[in-house]
Structure 1
Amino acid sequence: MARFVVYYLCMYSPRFTITSQINSAIAEIERLRVAIEHSRILPTKEVVLRRRAAIEATRSSTGIEGNPLSEQEVELVLSGQTISASERFITEVVNYKKALSHIEKRSKDATSLTAKDILTLHRMLMKDLLPKTKSGAFRKTPIYIVDIIGGKDIVRYQGPEPDTMMGLVDDFLGWLREETHDLHPLLVAGILHYEFVSIHPFSDGNGRITRLLTLVYLYQHGYAFRKVFVPESYYFADTKRYYQALGQASDYAHQHAADMTPWLSYFIEGLRAVVNDVSEKITRASWSGSQRGVLTLSEEDYRIIDFIAAVGTTMVNEIVSAVKVPKRTLQRRLSRLVRAGILMRTGRGPSTQYKLKNNRS
């Protein structure tokens, strides 16, 4: 007898209960968000905090998937230095940081996520890690998550059939676009995380892309926490608990239909813990003096700084190509950043070079 598998008949409809614990954690996050957004931080300190957060996010998210590089090694790789490690592990780190930079730009566009966005992001993540036919393409084969217990392969989770990928993703993106207006954005972010990783639409890289898509949604809805926010660190600190919270069933049909309240409780509590950590870092970096003469950094400034931090030392023409800022505008911004003590300038004329000032305080 033929077997027919149908996972979507109508718009996605998640099952969960908003508990008093979840409500309390959301209220605390909102209180901290206001305080963080209104804190005054010296630009030199905020640059350092954002740079450390990008390194920590890269190390945590790749580490969850088994990448063994330490935070120090990740920092060296992202600074363009050579380390003794597997080329695959180095590539995973480089790709993740590029994808992280990409989502920061994408999140400035308020339009809803599309399948094209997802495929583009996957192609960035898996460049030189998967064959080109699998990078940036939904899987065409079954997928199983397997644990080895007592020398035997035990299937922990079986994803949905490959021919349902496009339908499942489109259905969920439709729900995300049309049916979330009455839900708190933090809950929607948690649902996105749960459902997307449950669909497991790619042959590899599902966890990493899920965490990045969750960040895009949070950033788009005003929960960027000055880009010092690293929810991946909470999952990485206890990966067993992370996977237990996500894994409500051993196959997609039951996972899709399960009550996700336990996962949302874990997810929201994790955000609360991470945001509290951000608040403490911001408090230590804050200042209470007069704002007169203190440089305020724009997102364009941060893109310039991030590029220079990534390449180490660079010249004006290279920065122009990377960040797409007119040369005259860029030169003015670079001069301001040098005067503020954020960048160092060496040389003169066409040979002038810029690098990030070594400031870890």
Structure 2
Amino acid sequence: MKEFNYREMNSELMVPEIMNLVSKIHEFKGKQELFVRAKPDILKAMLEVAKIQSTGASNRIEGIFTSDARLEELVSKKAEPMNRDEEEIAGYREVLNTIHENYDYITLRSSVILQLHRDLYSFHPSTNGGRYKNQDNVIEEVDEKGTRRIRFKPLSAFETPEAVENLCSAYHEAINEGRIDPLILISKFVLDFLSIHPFNDGNGRMSRLLTLLLLYQQGYIVGKYISVEMLIESTKESYYETLQESSIGWHENENSYLPFVKYYCSVLLKAYKDFSDRIETVAVDKMGKSERVRDLFDKKVGKLSKREIADIYPDISVTTIEKALSDLLKEGYIQKVGSGRGTTYIKNSDYEGPEEN
């Protein structure tokens, strides 16, 4: 039977690389309250943007899609789901909102995980919601020739309920003892949860929702304002590679948590860096909104899309951004790259200043 021993620190994790990551995250957490107090109006806008990004990214990782416009409408509850993908997106929105609003009152245990999974499928007629898997499952990968091979065989359906109970108990015992850093414990919990693969469907999305829940409960609230799910989506190959590396020997209790813990802590550190940069960028009171768009091109190396600018400056309306881009194009300060939805903008390296009259 798989054992979950979280009370002992794995010696492999006591390496400078992991300790440095954890230490840097702690530093950002220490500044977190200052960030939160800095610009309440901007943080509120960042919160709404992050909800949309998180809901979209976590579902896209699993091959669940809708348009950007529909995604925004679904997350803001301005539209009802029209197909299966949108039903699953709406369900994710509900669980994400539950965690955002109630994380201090949610106890991690098997019955609660089942309730959250039920809510994940609350818009979908599936009977799988809120039930552990009723048949054994495997994690497969498909090569470029279309050949399938089993990458990992999770615990059987029979073993799953007890394993989830044991996993939650092991996590609580270690957290309550306080000897091992919560960041290490949360990363290990996520790896073990994914290796159990307790549901017929929705395992990846549940793992990311539980990640946010556990981080928030330990005071790491960056995921409210910066989409951790989108950072995982942008590093999806590393996510799957480290998941595979850390699952080797898992059934025999001989797996190495190091690759996955390193990856997860790196993602969280990137989220905090983005949060810090975003707050510093929007904290410039003396600069007008159009000037801030211009300033962004001075600081950014490479192309920027209209959506990226809106995400960085959630307090600036799309209309204002479009006007600023139009003015910068006329001035010759930036250049347009591509057309349609793929349109991006880049600073004109040949710009020599406004022409004199």
Q: Letter of the 1:214 partner, please give it.
A: T
Q: Quote the Cα distance in structure 1 between the aligned partners of 2:56 and 2:96.
A: 12
Q: Deviations over 1:220-270 (max 9, x none)?
A: 11101382032211210021211111113467515x530111111111111
Alignment CA distance shift 1:130-1:162 (3 Å):
farther
For residues 24-69 of structure 1, what are the alpha-carbon distances to aligned partners after superposition, in whole Å with 9 as ceiling and x for unaligned? 1222112222223113433321211100011111111111111233
- Change in Cα spacing, 1:253 to 1:121, as seen in structure 2 (3 Å) is same
Q: Distance in 1 between matches of 2:258 and 2:96?
A: 28
Residue number among 88, 108, 116 corresponding to 2:111 in the alignment: 116
Provide the rounded CA distance (Å) in 2 between the counterparts of 1:209 and 1:238: 18
Q: What pairs up with 1:60-75 in 2 under 5 angstroms?
A: 60-75=57-72
- Counterpart selection for 2:147 from 146, 152, 155: 152
Q: Is residue 41–residue 287 contact of structure 1 (8 Å, CA) maintained in 2?
A: no
2:203 matches 1:203: no
Q: Matched residue pairs, number?
A: 285
Deviations 1:190-228 (A, max 9, x none): 111111111100000001001111111110111013820
Contact 2:25/2:272, CA 8 A, preserved across alignment: yes
Question: CA–CA distance in 1 between the matches of 2:8 and 2:87?
Answer: 37
Match for residue 161 of structure 1?
A: 156
TM-score, normalised to structure 1's length?
0.72
Bigger shift: 146-155 or 56-65? 146-155
Structure 1 match to 2:24: 28
Cα distance in 1 between the residues matched to 2:92 and 2:4? 35
Instruction: Provide the residue aligned with 1:260 in structure 2.
Output: 257
Distance, in Å, in 1 between the alignment partners of 2:213 and 2:111 is: 14
* Stretches of structure 1 lacking an aligned partner (at least 5 in a row): 1-5, 290-356
Work out which of the residue numbers 80, 90, 93 in structure 1 matches 2:86. 90
Q: How far apart are residue 158 of structure 1 and its match? A: 1.2
Give TM-score, length-normalised by structure 2. 0.72
**One-letter amino acid of the counterpart of residue 146, structure 1:** E
User: In 2, Cα distance between the equivalents of 1:140 and 1:247?
Assistant: 24
**Equivalents in 2 of 1:281, 1:10: separation in Å?**
38
Amino acid at match of 1:209: M
The SS at the match of 2:64 is coil
Q: Residues 78, 196 of structure 1: CA spacing in aligned structure 2 closer, same or farther, 3 A cutoff?
A: same
1:146 offset after TM fit, Å? 1.7
Structure 2 match to 1:221: 218
Q: Distance in 2 between matches of 1:87 and 1:115?
A: 30
> How many angstroms does 1:128 deviate by?
4.2
Q: Distance in 1 between matches of 2:183 and 2:212?
A: 11
The 5 A counterparts of 1:247-286 are: 247-248=244-245, 249=247, 253-254=251-252, 256-286=253-283
> Which aligned runs of 4 or more in structure 1 are off by greater than 4 angstroms?
8-16, 80-83, 357-361
Q: Looking at both structures, which has the greater relative contact order when contacts are Cα pairs under 8 Å and sequence separation is at least 6? A: 1
1:170 CA drift (Å):
1.0
**Paired-residue identity, %:** 24
The CA deviation at 1:13 is 6.6
Q: Once superposed, what is the RMSD of the aligned Cα atoms?
A: 2.8
- Letter of the 2:163 counterpart: L
Q: Aligned partners of 2:52 and 2:139: how far apart in 1?
A: 28
Cα distance, 1:259–1:37 mapped onto 2, change above 3 Å: same
| Unaligned 5+ runs, structure 2 | 287-314, 321-357
Structure 1: distance between partners of 2:95 and 2:70: 19
AA of the residue aligned to 1:253:
H
